[in-house]
Each structure stands twice: as C-alpha cells, then as structure tokens.
Structure 1
Amino acid sequence: MQTPIPVIEEHPHHADIIARSPSEWMPWPRDDSSVNSHVLASNDTPSRYKKNKLRWPKRSVVFISDPHADAVAFEASLIAAGVAERKDKAELGHLSLTKKGRKSEIIVGGDCLDKGPSNLKLLRSVEQLYKLKARVTLLAGNHDLRLLMGLLALARKKDVGNQHFFVRMGKKVVPLFREVFDEYLADTHWEKKIPDEDACRKLLFPGDDWFKEFPFHAAGFLTAEGIDREVRKMESKNHSFEKHCLSAGLSLRQVYATSIKCQQLFLHKKGEFNWFFRKMELVAKRGSFLFLHAGLDDSMSQMLLKNGTKYANKAFHSNLKRRDLFSFYYSSIANTFRTKYRDADLPLTQRGVDAIHKAGIHVVVQGHVNRQKGQRIAIKKGLVHVEADITLDSHSRKMEGLYDYGIGATLIDKETGIIGLSCDYPMAKVMTAKELQGIYS
C-alpha cells in the first residue's frame, strides 16, 4: 500500500507543522479501550446488515472538529491534511487551497467557539475557506449553540424555559465577550442607553423562582437525571458567572453591552459573522458515513430513516427560528450536538441503531469526545463511531499537560480508508477500506 499520509510541501512556513506531524503510518491499533477487536469481526454484525455494502463518500473528506477558538491549530491542521498551504505569508488568514483541497470536502465538526486563544481569529480562519471557494460543511457544536441560545434568550420574551440560557453559557464564553468588547466597543461610547449594574443583572440572570419552577417545566422533556444535572449546573454557574466576568475585567454593564453587539455581529443580516449560524448544519451524510458533532438517539435515528438529512437540517434551522428555546435545546435535534450517551441524555437503544442501519448509515464520525492520543474507533451502542476530537486548542492542551497548539485531522477516502492524523500520536493510524468493509461483507 502506498503511504496514505498527505504530502506537505516543503516550505519555511510549513516547517513546524511538518516536524510535529506523523511521517509514518501503521494499521489502526486494536485494544479493549480504543478500537475493540470485534470492530472488524464480521460475525458480530447482524446478518441482515451484511448485505448492505459500505458506501464511501464520493469525494475525499477531511474532518476537523473542536478547534475551540484556536486559529493556529485549525490552519495547521488543514495544512497537515494536505488541503491547504501557506506560501506568501506566515500569518493567519493567508492560506490557499492545494490541488487536493480543491477536490476534497472539508467538514468542520463543530465547537468553533470558546476556550481560546481567539474566537474572532478562528471565525475568520473558517470564513477564509468560503472565500477560497472550498467545499465546506460546517456542523453545529454544543459550544457554538450555547452562544446562540444565550443571545436569543436576551432577544426574546423571558420565561422559565429560556431565562437561564445566558448565564448557562458559563465562564467559557467570557473570553469571547472580552474580545468583542475590546475590538468593537472599548473606544466607543458603549455605555449610552445601557442600564445600571443591578438592572443588567436582572436582565442577564434567571429570576429567584427559576430553580423551583424549572423542574416542573422540564418534566416530560428531560429525564430525571437530566433535570437534576441541569439544576446543579445552573446553581454553580449562577453563583460564579459574575465572578468570572469581573476576573476578565468586565462589569455586568459591559457584558450586557457586549451581548447586544454580539447580537448585531451574529444575528443581524449584515453582521460580520452572520454566515456562521446561517451556514451551520446539524448532520451530513456521505455514503454510509454520518458526520455530526456528538451522537444519536432513537428519535433522531427514526427521523433520518424516514425523512433523511436534508429534512433534519431544515428542521434544525426551522426550530431555531420558530420554536421556543427550551423545547429546542432539550429536544432530540439538540441532543445530536450534546449527547455523550449518558443517563441524562436522550437514549439510543437497539431500536435506534436498527433504524440508523436501515437508513444506510454504518459509521458515525463525531467530535465532542476529547481524546489525547489521537483519534479512536469504537463500537458504541452497537454502532461504529470514529471519535475525532483530538484536543487542538492550546488552552485545553495546557490544562491537559500537552505541548503547544494541536495539529490533526481525520481523513476518509475509499482508496486509503480512515486515516487518523494527530501530533499527539507518533504515527498516522490507518484503517483500510477493506478492513472496515469487512464488517458489512
């Protein structure tokens, strides 16, 4: 087999990326904690699915997930995947597409926001791909939608179902607010028409009765575990949110003014980042592969079987526009970018797995589940999952004791199979098309 590792052109601007990227490859490692040995065993696949030949995407896919506001890591990952290059300038925002990049599809697996070092730079790095006319699919991540929920909650009538969404964003959104304030408001008369500190606190925080009323409001929508988890999470964030804002040098008046500016940037038709949520999709099906941020549940599996991905994506945007925020955020649609298959999440059972197989989906490619030693392939709930969140952002890496910014991407192609590139694993992991096909043949 010819080396499946992408060729990075030798250039001074690529030197660090080349030095830190795998230069050799190996068969995908198999052990009980990563790719279980039975992943490749055809006798573990229900017989009625064996006739369903695994279909590969028509064009090569480069999947990069969870860049979390690190444009350096994101652009380095594009270069490491062989779809972009940087020749003229070493700074961010000066990429061009390679021949492979013009032929491939780049799927950004969600969670572009939060953590750091710069949300605005990451957004502009993603936007340059659209300007380069790359084939880009941008998926919804829980951190991305968390911002949207907070902004929409302020813009809509306050009720028990939505009044906690702003503070629910928590400390991870504070760096974005700091960036927006510094870039757009700091040298302006931002304080005009902004209420006083106490009034802003009432506008931003849930009311005193929320903690008593929410469990009854959520009954029937969330599991008992989900309600308990939500209330405990809000007790913590309600207590600490203002403290985190003050630590970043932001008063609640400044936070409120910044939230208004963020509404203009992200939600208004002429806003600089209006494209971000407008272009976002919930799921993308390519051959037998389903790309999403987190995971599935029974209801979403049935929706995909009966109506397909176009319907699911249209429902995603339609619900955001028309439905109340509570029933959207705790629905099966939002579970797709939030679930970790916990007791608090909407369940995926054998019924859902059967439906997803009938829909012609045999491999789920996801972000959301952080892996420190590169990508992982595993059977979860009876369904093959490729876990592709490999800790790219420098903030998380520092917290986890990892070096510098991350570099990596997951490549999916019929000729080479699934390739896991990560600067945190010494070799590229390769599962050939023949090996993966063995499950369904």
Structure 2
Amino acid sequence: MQSVIDWQPEKPFEIIPQAWLSPDKETYFFCDLHADAGAFLRSLKLSGLITESSELDQVQLTDKAFQGRILIGGDCFDKGPSNLQLFELLNHLREAGLDLILLAGNHDIRVYAGLLALDFMHDLRQAHFFVRMGRKCATFLAEVYHRYCVHEEAPKLADSLIEEALFPNEDWYRLFPQYAQYFMKRKQIEKEIKQIRSKRIDFMQACHEKGLNLNQVYHAALKAKQLFVDSDGEFAWFFQNLQLLHHSGSYLFCHAGVDDSIALCMQENGSDSLNEQFRNQMRSGQIFEMYYSPYGNIFRTKYRDKDWPFSSMGAETLRQQGIFALVNGHRSHENGQQLFVREGLLNFECDTQLNSNCRKKSKMKPHGEAVTIFSSSGTVFAYCCDMPTAKSFHPGRLSA
C-alpha cells in the first residue's frame, strides 16, 4: 500500500462528526471497469481482497474479502478487452459467497436494453436501443461470437431480414417523436434521431473492424441475449441482481448521481423500495420509460441542464435522512479519485479510467488499478496507481 495524505474537499464543508455514520462493514468501491478484467484483478490485489499470486483463472480470496463488502459501482460492459472474463471473475466472487453488490451503470443498461430490443422491434419506443449500444459494444459481440458462435451454424437469413431484426425502420424515424414527447424534450428527440442514423453506420463499421459481418453480428446478438438476458442464461445473474443505489451509514452509492425527485422518493419510501421498483421495470421490459425517467438519471446524470435537477432542496432532503455524502463513478478523472462539495453534500467521484482503452486514449499509464475503501471505523481511503500517495478522509477532521 502507498503512504497516505489527508484528503479534504476544496470548498469548506461543515458537519457535526457525531452525526456521521460509517458503513455497517468495510466497503470496497470499484467502478467503471468497462470490461477490463485485468484492471479489476489488479484493483482487487491493491485492496488486499485477493492474494498477490492470484490470476484471472485462479483467484485466491483473503479473509478481508469474506469480512467486507464489494460494491461494483456500474459500467461493467463494453469497451473491452475482456467482457466475458470480467463477468467470470465477478461470478467467482459471487459464488464464493462474498457480500457483492452490483449497481447499474449507463453502459450496463444500454446493453440490456439493446439485447432486449431484439424482442421489441415492434415497439417504436425501443426499436432503436440495439443500435444505440454504439460501436463500443462491437468488442463485446466479437467476444461472444468467437467463444460461443464460431462452431455453431449461423442463422441463414437475407441481410434485409437481419436489418429488420436489428435496426429501426423508416417508420421509427417518423413516429418516434410522438411516442417520446412525454419523456424527452424536443431538442433531445431531434438529437436522438440524428444520432441513431449515424450510430447505425458507425456500429456496423466497428463490427466489421472486429471481423464480423452482418450475419455474424446477428448470431452474436442472439447468443448474447441468451447468455445475459434470458432467465436461464449463463450470466443472467448479473442483470437479475442489479440495483440502482445502495445506502449505508451516511453514504449513498450510485453510478452517476441523484436528483430532487429521487431524494424525495427515498425519504418517502426508502432505497429498498426504489431498487425493487427498478428491478420490476427491468423485468417488465419497459426500458424506455425507465431510461428517460429520474430512475435513469441515477445512472446517467452529469448534472447538466438537460438532466433532472439536483438542488439544495434535494440535498437537504438527503441530509434529513442522515446522508451526508454521495459516492459515484461516471465522471472520469485522470489523477485519481476526487472529493467535491455539491449542493452542500460531499461527493466522492471515483472513476479513475481503469479501462486500458480509455487510458491509451488519454495517454495514461497502461495498467490501471484503483479502489476506494469506506472503513467501518470512519476513514475513507482512496488508492490509485495514478496518485503518488494514497488519500484518507475522516469526517472528524472537517471541524479542525
């Protein structure tokens, strides 16, 4: 482990330390893995949850792993290089009986919606979700194809029929606005339509770059749906166990953030109720309504003008519930985890660009590793290979 320095927010923040509650057990937060199994393996080693000699196909858990909680903060899918290996590693932790919590990220829900759309191409609200997964999912489909499909007989369909099964037709471009007007602003609808036209071309180009023709893309998509969406699929446990958020002590964990309406819903019904409603929406297949609602805001927001608003009122509503800090990923940082004050709440932002593709694009060190540890003793530790020293936060120091 690195040496440790004091971690303080840039803006002044006042709290009565006695009101601050730690998580009920040591909590290890990992986020935005984006299908980089190697980065997750290194991060688990950095956390002390597995032995240094562990490999992807032979992981040895430590006592810490069984005593603590592993919280995956969303965005497990798509960029690669190792979607399937990442889910196999997560499944190993799950089957070992660890306390493992999976939070929904925007990329995770896009993949779920995209694969589910194969059964909903007649639904003009959702027919665009497959192509909306974007070029980043070409890696995922290529992995699925080469592991599961290459020795199977491919579907023998004309390209025109496959295109009808994967992509929205011209009726969608004409009718989508009237279906979407109750959930999206006019400018958002116009942008969505424009993007879907370009994403269709870009998506297929990315698949061709991965060596997949249209027939193979369709084959891989059907297999991916069988593996991840169908109830008896090999990886169906992932979506079946996704949660929107997790509340422990004075911390609220999610992928992106919250808004005023979610803060109020939590006050009225609690986080468990929100998670149950989210799972019901996932099971119902009505992804469009959820994706563009405050529920979707939890895994999509970047606190932009077009996002559902989070104001001082929402922050005060959370404080009344004993929540003084938000913990999320989604907004990436090149110099380790960051600590901000947002509307009077502390905000731990923990996306350190672990994925090797992101790091290469940003000209960062090639092998990312990071973890944010929320100790039951009250201290928060941030470890990251991009920081010369680790950082530690304790609420008691804020009043110093």
TM value normalised by structure 2: 0.95
| Corresponding residue number in structure 2 for 1:107 | 71
| Corresponding residue number in structure 2 for 1:335 | 297
How far the C-alpha of 1:171 sits from its partner, in A, is 0.3
| Corresponding residue number in structure 1 for 2:192 | 230
In 2: Cα distance, 1:185 partner to 1:343 partner: 44
- CA separation of 1:161/1:226 partners in 2, compared to 1, >3 Å: closer, same or farther? same
Q: Deviations over 1:171-209 (max 9, x none)?
A: 011101001000001112123xx4211111122111223
| Corresponding residue number in structure 2 for 1:252 | 214
In 2: Cα distance, 1:339 partner to 1:231 partner: 20
Match of 1:38 among 12, 18, 27: 12
Match of 2:34 among 50, 62, 68: 68
How far the C-alpha of 1:216 sits from its partner, in A, is 2.9
| Corresponding residue number in structure 2 for 1:13 | none
Matches within 5 A, 1:27-426: 27-28=6-7, 35-39=9-13, 42=14, 53-87=19-53, 91-156=55-120, 158-191=122-155, 194-322=156-284, 324-415=286-377, 417-426=379-388
Assess if the C-alpha contact under 8 Å between 2:120 and 2:127 holds in 1: no
How far the C-alpha of 1:414 sits from its partner, in A, is 4.1
Q: Deviations over 1:86-143 (max 9, x none)?
A: 44xx531322222222211110111111111110001111111112221111111111
In 2: Cα distance, 1:256 partner to 1:332 partner: 32
| Unaligned stretches of 5+ residues in structure 1 | 6-22
The residue matched to 2:328 in structure 1 has which SS? strand
Assess if the C-alpha contact under 8 Å between 2:35 and 2:77 holds in 1: yes
The residue matched to 2:267 in structure 1 has which SS? helix
Assess if the C-alpha contact under 8 Å between 1:63 and 1:411 holds in 2: yes
Assess if the C-alpha contact under 8 Å between 2:121 and 2:165 holds in 1: no
Q: Deviations over 1:199-241 (max 9, x none)?
A: 1112211122333432332223123453344334323313322
In 1: Cα distance, 2:173 partner to 2:11 partner: 46
Q: Which piece of structure 1 moves more, 350-359 or 330-339? A: 350-359
2:352 aligned partner, one-letter code: I
The residue matched to 2:85 in structure 1 has which SS? helix
In 1: Cα distance, 2:378 partner to 2:61 partner: 21
Assess if the C-alpha contact under 8 Å between 2:371 and 2:384 holds in 1: yes
Between the two proteins, the alignment pairs up a number of residues equal to 400
In 2: Cα distance, 1:155 partner to 1:133 partner: 34
Assess if the C-alpha contact under 8 Å between 1:64 and 1:409 holds in 2: yes
1:136 aligned partner, one-letter code: L
In 2: Cα distance, 1:277 partner to 1:221 partner: 24
TM value normalised by structure 1: 0.86
Assess if the C-alpha contact under 8 Å between 2:180 and 2:189 holds in 1: yes
Q: Post-superposition, which runs of at least 4 consecutive aligned residues in structure 1 deviate over 4 A?
A: none
- CA separation of 1:157/1:233 partners in 2, compared to 1, >3 Å: closer, same or farther? closer
Q: Deviations over 1:283-312 (max 9, x none)?
A: 111111011101111221111111111101
| Corresponding residue number in structure 1 for 2:397 | 435
In 2: Cα distance, 1:343 partner to 1:329 partner: 17
2:364 aligned partner, one-letter code: L
| Unaligned stretches of 5+ residues in structure 2 | none
1:37 aligned partner, one-letter code: K
- CA separation of 1:51/1:420 partners in 2, compared to 1, >3 Å: closer, same or farther? closer
Assess if the C-alpha contact under 8 Å between 2:259 and 2:308 holds in 1: yes
In 1: Cα distance, 2:12 partner to 2:174 partner: 47
